[in-house]
């Protein structure tokens, strides 16, 4: 037997699997075909039932209206044969009462004279005695139908509309009373709302979600005129969405008939039949929800799935039995090979049988011997390899530990060097500036104080006093600059933004005036204080406003706005006090906003700025727990926002 001949049982297994696959595919195709056919039949059956119901409802409405027309005609003929009609009021009253009693859902009946005056009414409504030519109800549907009946001499049916005397929606049948082709009077009957309700009453064939919709165009709007089953919408109050052209009721009101899937007023999928009622101008829709229609289809699907599963199970059992019957001669050898493959110690097996199976067993025993030899060789190699791996792993772990320690030391050293260089440069700069400016400032302060003590004029003394304050402020700013590298905060106190802004604007008043800058200050009167150093906040606000003044000098529109307000905290948290300083300048590009507060970064030309103002400002603000940020102003410039927590207690 050649190696190719030993693949016979595998081919048989493939044939069996193909057999099972064909059975499954056949069942799937059959199930889909049955399911699709049943769906189509179910839809057609539902549409047929709905069509029968719609036709029956149309016939019922038409029959009721025809009967009413016959009764009105008979009443008119009886009045025509009566002698002295104009004076027999009691007879007309009895006829009207009898007519309303006889006619189902008749709300009221009228007798109208040839002059258009309502002389009699069963309900005795407030319109009794009014003139339908010139009176208040001349343009009502009753008045319009009356005049058409007098002109045509035929029975007229009005459109459905609101009738004020009855305080309800009504529709009128108007029949002329003629004698020798001359109209000698008119009878009118007002249909009650119960008539429309009776026309929409459900039948057994509509199921749980079935509905009969009656609608009419009232004042140009598609309006419901009969109660619904699946909605609380009230008749004559619910108006359909006239823009939704998928609604069947709009198709019916437009004079078109149809049948099939649609969407109803609830935006639910339905199967519906719709048709117009030409005599009354109504629209009729009979429908059921698709979900209810396909309940039977869902049951069929469950049954098909059950049958499908049973068939698959049966085919698997049959194919398993056939497979075992075919593979029985080699089952013993298969079990032995599996047992040997699962055990740790492979041993040769002895299998009796045909020549092919004996040859297969011999080949297996030879393979076992080779595997034993290969296993011994692999175990020896694995032992050597494991020793080498352990040595290399230990060396790698030691190297990684040394590398991690070196990297940590390098990061710490780099951070320390950076901080040291920063503090050294800032300290050197602050010391040099302080040394150069401190003595001249003290001399100026002494001279001004001396002059202030010798001058008698109060106005001059006030000017000198402001000069003393400004020189003192310059000394404070110089001291703050020298302490930039220090993290220790200055003495904190309760500070009001209004006081800080007032001092800064007083100092900058002359510069703002010379630069033609329009300054607006809006500080809320009840703005709470914050806990910070007043002099450092003064310096911070001054830095920002000086930068704004610089950019506004070259701007066409020169406006500077300072606004202070409070933002309430959430869920009992303390609020925040904000100060916004915005200008109408060119603004700050997005790529520079992230660097604007960095030391020595400036947007000014070389020699015009040092790049320390905003850096010092941020350092001073953050020392007291505040925040400063930059944003785009509404006028196109830059907006700097100071944010501090509301002070909860005195310092």
Residue 85 structure tokens:
């009609």
- What percent of the chain is helix, strand and coil (3-state, nearest 5)? 55, 20, 25
Does the structure show a pLDDT above 50 at 598?
A: yes
Spell out where 36-136 has E strands: 106-112, 118-121
| Location of structure tokens 């930068």 | 547
The beta-strand segments (E) located in 493-603 are 493-495, 518-523, 530-532, 559-567, 576-583
| Cα three-residue angle 62-67-72, rounded to 5 degrees | 125
| CB of 604 closer than 8 Å to CB of 613 | no
Q: pLDDT (tens digit, 9 = 90+) per residue, 47-57?
A: 788 888 888 88
In this prediction, residues 496-503 reach a mean pLDDT of: 91
Span 317-327, average pLDDT: 61
According to the model, what pLDDT value does residue 497 have? 92
Q: What is the DSSP string of 309-355?
A: HHHHHHHHHHHHHHHHHHHGGGHHHHHHHHHHHHSSS-------S-H
Please say if the pLDDT value at position 479 is more than 50: yes
The tokens for 24 are: 């499954």
Q: Which fold has domain 487-645?
A: Heat Shock Protein 90 (3.30.565)
Query: Which of the residue ranges 106-110, 341-345, 425-429 would you say has the lowest mean pLDDT?
Result: 341-345
Residue 625 has pLDDT above 80, yes or no: yes
Mean pLDDT in residue range 445-464: 83
Q: What average pLDDT score do residues 510-521 get?
A: 90
Does residue 119 carry a pLDDT above 70? yes
583 closest CA partner among 615, 629, 543, 551: 551
pLDDT band (50, 70, 90) for residue 325:
low
Confidence of residue 332 (pLDDT cuts 50, 70, 90): low
- Predicted confidence at residue 445, as pLDDT, reads 79
What is the chain's mean pLDDT, rounded? 78
- Which of the given ranges, 72-86, 326-340, 433-447, has the highest pLDDT on average? 433-447
Instruction: Determine the Cα–Cα distance for residues 383 and 505; give it in Å rounded to an integer.
Output: 86
Of 247, 215, 219, residue with least CA distance to 228: 215
Segment 219-243, tens digit of pLDDT: 888 988 888 888 888 888 888 888 8
How far apart, in whole angstroms, are the C-alpha atoms of residue 304 and residue 578?
Answer: 71
Please list the residues that pair with 594 across neighbouring strands.
Answer: none
Question: In the structure encoding, which two tokens stand for residue 604, read together?
Answer: 């000014």
Query: For residue 427, what pLDDT is reported?
Result: 59
Domain boundaries, the chain: 82-195, 487-645
Per cent of the chain over pLDDT 90 is 9
DSSP 559: E
pLDDT score at 529: 92
In the structure, what pLDDT confidence band is assigned to residue 355 with cuts at 50, 70 and 90? low
The mean-pLDDT minimum among 25-39, 104-118, 330-344 falls in: 330-344
575: left (phi over 0), alpha (psi -120 to 50) or beta: beta
Quote the percentage of the chain above a pLDDT of 70: 76
Choice between 227 and 605, residue whose per-residue pLDDT is larger: 227
Q: How many beta carbons lie within 10 A of that of residue 383, not counting itself?
A: 9
b/e 280-291 (16+ beta carbons within 10 angstroms → b)? bbbbbbbbbbbe
Would you state the pLDDT for residue 610? 64
Extract long-range pairs of 170-174: CB within 8 Å, 24+ residues apart. Answer: 170/107, 170/141, 170/142, 171/141, 171/280, 172/141, 172/142, 172/145, 173/68, 173/69, 173/72, 174/142, 174/145, 174/146, 174/148, 174/149
Q: What is the CATH number of domain 82-195?
A: 3.30.450.20
Residue 352 has pLDDT above 90, yes or no: no
**pLDDT at res. 351:** 55
Q: Look up residue 288 and give its DSSP letter.
A: E
- What are the pLDDT digits (tens) for 376-398? 778 778 887 888 888 888 888 88
For 172-215, what is each residue's pLDDT tens digit?
A: 888 888 877 788 888 888 887 777 777 777 766 677 888 888 89
Report the SS3 class of residue 624.
coil
CA distance 251 to 246: 8
Predicted local distance difference test score (pLDDT) of residue 334: 66
Between residues 188 and 82, the one the model is more confident about: 188
Q: Is the pLDDT of residue 510 over 70?
A: yes
Higher-pLDDT residue of 529 and 413 is 529
Residue 264, pLDDT score:
87
Token pair recorded at residue 491? 């003495």
Give residue 160's pLDDT. 84
Helices (H), 328-457: 331-342, 355-454
| 633: CB partners within 8 A, 6+ apart | 582, 583, 584, 587, 639
Contact criterion met (CB below 8 Å) for 311 and 97? no
Give the burial class of 382: count Cβ atoms within 10 A of its Cβ; 0-12 exposed, 13-18 middle, 19 or more buried: exposed
Buried b (16+ CB within 10 A) or exposed e, 446-478: eebeeebeeeeeeeeeeebeebeeebebebbbb
Mean pLDDT lowest for which of 93-107, 409-423, 485-499?
409-423
How many residues are listed for the chain in this entry? 651
- Locate tokens 């006081």: which residue? 499
- Inter-residue contact 184 to 115 (CB < 8 Å): no
More confident residue, 525 or 357: 525
- pLDDT band, very low/low/confident/very high, at 465 (cuts 50, 70, 90): confident
Indicate if the pLDDT at residue 448 is higher than 50.
Answer: yes
Contact criterion met (CB below 8 Å) for 184 and 176: no
pLDDT in tens, 528-579: 999 888 888 888 998 899 988 988 888 888 999 999 999 887 766 668 999 9
Task: Report the range of poorest mean pLDDT among 39-43, 62-66, 228-232, 617-621.
Answer: 39-43
Give the residue, 46 or 515, on which the prediction is more confident.
515
Identify the residue with better confidence: 387 or 360. 387
**What is d(CA 615, CA 632) in angstroms, rounded to the nearest whole number?**
19
pLDDT digits (tens, 9 = 90+) for 129-168: 788 888 888 888 888 888 998 888 888 888 888 888 888 8
90, two tokens: 């009691």
Residue 589 has pLDDT above 60, yes or no: yes
The yes-or-no verdict on residue 1 having pLDDT over 50 is no
């Amino acid at each position: 037997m050649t190696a190719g001949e030993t693949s016979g049982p595998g081919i048989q297994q493939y044939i069996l699997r193909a057999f099972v696959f064909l059975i499954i595919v056949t069942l799937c195709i059959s199930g889909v075909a049955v399911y699709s056919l049943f769906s189509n039949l179910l839809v057609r059956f539902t549409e047929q039932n709905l069509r029968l119901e719609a036709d029956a409802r149309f016939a019922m409405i038409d029959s009721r209206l025809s009967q009413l027309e016959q009764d009105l005609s008979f009443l008119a003929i009886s009045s025509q044969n009566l002698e002295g009609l104009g004076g027999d009021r009691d007879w007309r009253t009895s006829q009207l009462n009898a007519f309303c009693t006889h006619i189902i859902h008749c709300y009221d009946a009228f007798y109208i004279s040839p002059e258009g005056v309502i002389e009699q009414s069963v309900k005795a409504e407030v319109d009794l005695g009014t003139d339908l030519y010139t009176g208040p109800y001349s343009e009502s549907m009753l008045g319009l139908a009356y005049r058409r009946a007098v002109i045509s001499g035929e029975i007229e049916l009005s459109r459905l509309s609101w009738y004020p005397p009855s305080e309800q929606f009504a529709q009128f049948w108007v029949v002329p009373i003629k004698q020798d082709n001359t109209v000698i009077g008119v009878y009118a009957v007002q249909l009650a709302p119960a008539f429309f309700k009776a026309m929409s009453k459900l039948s057994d064939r509509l199921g749980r979600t079935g509905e009969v919709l009656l609608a009419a165009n009232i004042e140009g709007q598609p309006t419901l005129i009969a109660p619904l089953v699946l909605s609380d919408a009230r008749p004559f109050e619910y108006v359909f969405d006239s823009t939704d052209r998928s609604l069947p009721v709009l198709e019916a009101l437009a004079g078109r008939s149809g049948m099939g899937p649609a969407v109803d007023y609830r935006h639910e999928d339905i199967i519906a039949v719709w048709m117009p009622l030409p005599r009354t101008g109504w629209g009729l829709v009979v429908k059921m929800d698709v979900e209810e229609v396909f309940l039977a289809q869902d049951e069929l699907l469950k049954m098909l799935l059950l049958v499908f599963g049973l068939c698959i199970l049966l085919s698997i059992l049959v194919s398993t039995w056939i497979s075992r019957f075919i593979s029985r001669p080699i089952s013993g050898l298969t079990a032995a090979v599996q047992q040997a493959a699962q055990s740790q110690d492979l041993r040769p097996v002895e299998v009796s049988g045909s020549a092919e199976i004996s040859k297969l067993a011999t080949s297996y025993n030879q393979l076992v011997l080779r595997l034993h030899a290969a296993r011994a060789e692999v175990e020896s190699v694995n032992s050597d390899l494991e020793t080498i791996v352990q040595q290399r792993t230990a060396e790698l772990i030691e190297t990684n530990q040394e590398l991690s320690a070196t990297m940590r030391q390098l990061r710490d050293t780099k951070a320390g060097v950076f901080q040291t260089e920063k503090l050294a440069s800032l300290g050197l700069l602050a010391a040099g500036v302080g040394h150069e400016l401190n003595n001249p400032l003290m001399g100026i302060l002494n001279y001004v104080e001396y002059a202030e003590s010798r001058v008698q004029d109060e106005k001059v003394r006030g000017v000198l006093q402001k000069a003393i304050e400004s020189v003192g402020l310059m000394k404070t700013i110089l001291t703050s600059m020298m302490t930039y590298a220090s993290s220790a905060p200055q003495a904190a106190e309760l500070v009001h933004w209004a006081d800080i802004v007032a001092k800064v604007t007083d100092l900058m008043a002359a510069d703002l005036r010379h630069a033609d800058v329009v300054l607006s200050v809006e500080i809320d009167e009840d703005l709470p204080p914050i806990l910070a150093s007043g002099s450092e906040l003064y310096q911070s606000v001054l830095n920002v406003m000086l930068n704004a003044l610089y950019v506004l000098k070259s701007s066409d529109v020169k406006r500077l706005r300072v606004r202070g307000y409070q933002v309430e905290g959430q869920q009992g948290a303390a609020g925040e006090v904000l100060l916004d300083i915005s200008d109408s300048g060119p603004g700050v590009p997005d790529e520079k906003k992230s660097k604007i507060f960095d030391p020595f970064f400036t947007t000014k030309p070389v020699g015009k700025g040092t790049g320390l103002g905003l850096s010092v400002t941020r350092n001073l603000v953050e020392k007291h727990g505040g925040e400063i940020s930059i944003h785009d102003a509404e006028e196109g410039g830059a907006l700097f926002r100071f944010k501090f927590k509301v002070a909860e207690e005195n310092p």
